[in-house]
Amino acid sequence: MVESAIAYTTFGSEVETYAALAKLAIARSIQLANALWLNGRRDRNAADFYMIYEYAEDDLGGRNAIVKALGVSDNDITRLRKSANNLAPTDGGRHAKGTGVPEWGLDRQREFIGRFLKEWIVYRATNAD
């Protein structure tokens, strides 16, 4: 009777629609599936967020393709990279020693990656190539 419970608790909501898009998108892209798994882990850090970006580079064909397909700015990608590389390791940075100043802390990186993943899901669900 689980199916009945599901039928009674969902009403064609935005969540249900988005879940269907996500299911289609991950069926089309192992990189997106891996990125979503990584994003679902506890205690994510800058290295995890940047790895999600790297999965998108592999799936979509590089930085310029990401900017075009997902509508994110090239400057935001640069900010993500610089922040991941320069955030202190005790704050979740990628390297033992950064060479600059991070533009974004983990909260801002998390927010960016959340929007990034949403756009990637929609793109991959509507574009099979």
What is the pLDDT tens value at each position of the chain, 129 positions in all?
445 545 555 566 888 888 999 999 999 999 999 999 999 999 899 999 999 999 999 999 999 999 999 999 999 999 999 998 888 877 777 777 767 788 898 999 999 999 999 999 999 999 987
In the chain, the amino acid numbered 116 is F
Cα–Cα nearest to 117, from 46, 12, 25, 45: 25
Please give the pLDDT value at position 102: 82
CB 102 within 8 A of CB 82: yes
d(CA 13, CA 55): 29
What is this structure's pTM?
Answer: 0.85
Q: What is the pLDDT of residue 1?
A: 45
The answer to whether 39 touches 26, Cβ cutoff 8 Å, is no
Q: How many CB atoms lie within 10 A of CB 121?
A: 22
